[in-house]
């Protein structure tokens, strides 16, 4: 596969789990990949593995909630590859203990702000950093990762769900504002995905139980998501913008 040949694409939160799977698929499709993550060591490990497989990859340590860090990330990508053709806004706070779960009134203001800073402000900052380069070349692909929890109104998770709903709204605004520059902006809403490197029996049982509410009754993995992201980063989706692709095995219909 080579439909992303000569494209340079940034993946935030690319050092592990679903983000890592995005990096691997985009590289296999021919893209030069920027593995951006707050964990510099893990980001470098992923980039090194890709380079070992003869793909072009660069690791950049970046906190997406920090405007200086996002500008530095984009400069590093441009310095290395000379252009930016795609941005996959994947970095997010989701897993415990970083994100607690419970009634909305029990969420602390500090935790609410931390989730919003990464999940929503981070998407805004990364887009703001890449768009000037995409405008100049009059081409670009922005893929924002939302969540199926938005469609279900998943309870006891108000800060996460709200942040991911904001991602969809932001996606639609950007699609309107950037269409004249041949920049497409779309979102992907994954269902509950088993992305742990190691998982205990109880957690796996939970994933299997949840999968029974889907039309396709099996556990979702990162590999189920990579095709949608690769499609939205490619010229196959050049006439598609402002849309949200729900990839959840038929758990929710919108």
What positions carry a catalytic annotation? 160
Q: Find out whether 133 and 84 touch, Cβ atoms under 8 Å.
A: yes
Radius of gyration of the CA atoms of the chain, in A: 17
- Which of these, 3, 133, 104, 122, lies nearest to 67 by C-alpha position? 122
Quick check: 46 and 59 in contact, CB under 8 A?
A: yes
Only one residue has tokens 């997010």, namely 92
Residue that is written with structure tokens 């556990």 in the block = 219
Both tokens of residue 65? 């909630």
Cβ atoms of residues 125 and 62 within 8 Å? no
Q: Where are the alpha helices (DSSP H) in the chain?
A: 17-28, 40-52, 67-81, 109-116, 122-137, 149-152, 158-178, 201-211, 226-233
């Amino acid at each position: 596969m080579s439909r992303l040949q000569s494209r340079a694409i940034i993946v935030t939160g690319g050092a592990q789990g679903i983000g890592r799977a995005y990096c691997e698929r985009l590289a296999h499709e021919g893209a030069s990949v920027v593995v951006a993550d707050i964990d510099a060591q893990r980001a470098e490990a992923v980039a090194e593995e890709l380079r070992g497989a003869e793909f072009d990859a660069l690791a950049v340590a970046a906190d997406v909630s920090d405007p200086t860090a996002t500008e530095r990330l984009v400069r590093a990508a441009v310095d290395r590859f000379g252009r930016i053709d795609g941005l996959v806004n994947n970095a997010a706070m989701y897993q415990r203990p970083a994100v607690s779960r419970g009634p909305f009134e029990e969420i602390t203001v500090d935790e609410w702000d931390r989730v919003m800073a990464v999940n929503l402000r981070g998407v805004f900052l990364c887009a703001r950093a890449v768009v000037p380069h995409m405008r100049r070349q009059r081409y670009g692909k922005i893929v924002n990762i939302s969540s199926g929890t938005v469609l279900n109104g998943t309870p006891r998770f108000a800060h996460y769900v709200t942040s991911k709903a904001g991602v969809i709204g932001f996606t639609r605004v950007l699609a309107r504002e950037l269409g004249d520059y041949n920049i497409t902006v779309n979102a992907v809403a994954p269902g509950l995905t088993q992305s742990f490197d190691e998982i205990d029996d109880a957690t796996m049982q939970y994933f299997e139980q949840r999968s029974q509410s889907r039309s396709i009754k099996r556990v979702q993995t990162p590999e189920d998501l990579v095709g949608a992201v690769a499609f939205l980063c490619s010229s196959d989706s050049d006439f598609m913008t402002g849309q949200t692709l729900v990839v959840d095995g038929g758990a929710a219909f919108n």
